[in-house]
C-alpha cells in the first residue's frame, strides 16, 4: 500500500494527496502527520488536495480532524486547491469544516500560512511584553 509522502518545506510540512485515498490510507496519513508535526516542530501544515476528485464523509471529516490535530499541537494548517465538485460534495454532506483555513493554490496557501505564523509570533511577543 502506498504511503502518502509528507515533505518538509522550511518551517512547514507539505502533504500532497495525489491519489484518491481509501479509509486505511487516510488513517495512516493522520497518524503519520501527527508524528511528523511533533518530530519536526513544524509551524504549519499545508494539505494540497488539488488532485482529489472524490470525497466521502469519512475523508471529509478526516480533513477536519487533521486541521484540529495540528492546531492542538500548536501549528496552523491550510487546505489548498480543492476542486469545485469536492467542495460542493462536502457542503452537501453537511460537514462543518468551518474551522479549517483554505487557499486557492499552494502559492497562496504558503503566503497565508506565513501570515498566520507571523501573527501568532507577534501575539506571543506582545504577550511576553505585557508580562
Partner 1 sequence: MTTNTSNRVAEIFTRYEQPILEDWLREQLAALTARQDLISEAELRRQSAELLALFIPACRAGNFTDISSPEWKAVLAFLSNVSRSRALQGFSPSETATVVFSLKQPLFSRLRQELSTNVDTTLADELWNATVLLDKLGLYTTEVFQKSREEIIKRQQEEMLELSTPVIKLWEGVLAVPLVGMLDSVRTRLVMENILQSIISTGSSMAIIDITGVPNVDTQVSQHLLNTVLAAKLMGAQCIISGIRPEIALAMVHLGVEFGDVVTKATLADALAYAFLKIGIVVTTTAPH
Residue ranges that bind partner 1, judged by CB under 8 A: 79-84, 86-88, 90-92, 97, 100, 102-105, 108-109
Cβ closer to partner 1: 44 or 81? Answer: 81
Q: How far is the CB of 2 from partner 1 (least distance, A)?
A: 25
Q: How far is the CB of 3 from partner 1 (least distance, A)?
A: 26
What's the full length of the chain, in residues?
Answer: 131
Q: Distances in Å between the alpha carbon of 8 and those of 1, 16, 67, 93?
A: 22, 11, 17, 32
Asked if residues 12 and 110 have their Cβ atoms less than 8 Å apart, the reply is yes
Distance from C-alpha of 26 to C-alpha of 127, rounded to nearest angstrom = 37
Cβ closer to partner 1: 105 or 121? Answer: 105
Cβ closer to partner 1: 40 or 102? Answer: 102
Give the 3-state secondary structure of residue 42: coil
Amino acid at each position: 500500500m502506498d504511503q502518502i509522502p509528507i515533505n518538509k518545506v522550511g518551517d512547514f510540512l507539505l502533504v500532497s494527496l495525489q491519489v484518491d485515498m481509501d479509509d486505511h490510507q487516510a488513517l495512516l496519513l493522520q497518524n503519520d502527520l501527527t508524528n511528523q508535526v511533533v518530530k519536526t516542530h513544524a509551524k504549519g501544515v499545508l494539505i494540497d488536495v488539488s488532485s482529489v476528485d472524490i470525497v466521502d464523509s469519512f475523508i471529509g471529516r478526516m480533513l477536519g480532524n487533521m486541521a484540529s490535530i495540528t492546531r492542538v499541537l500548536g501549528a496552523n494548517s491550510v487546505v489548498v486547491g480543492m476542486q469545485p465538485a469536492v467542495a460542493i460534495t462536502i457542503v452537501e454532506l453537511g460537514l462543518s469544516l468551518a474551522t479549517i483555513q483554505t487557499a486557492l493554490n499552494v502559492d497562496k496557501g504558503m503566503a497565508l500560512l506565513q501570515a498566520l505564523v507571523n501573527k501568532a509570533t507577534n501575539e506571543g511577543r506582545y504577550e511576553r511584553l505585557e508580562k
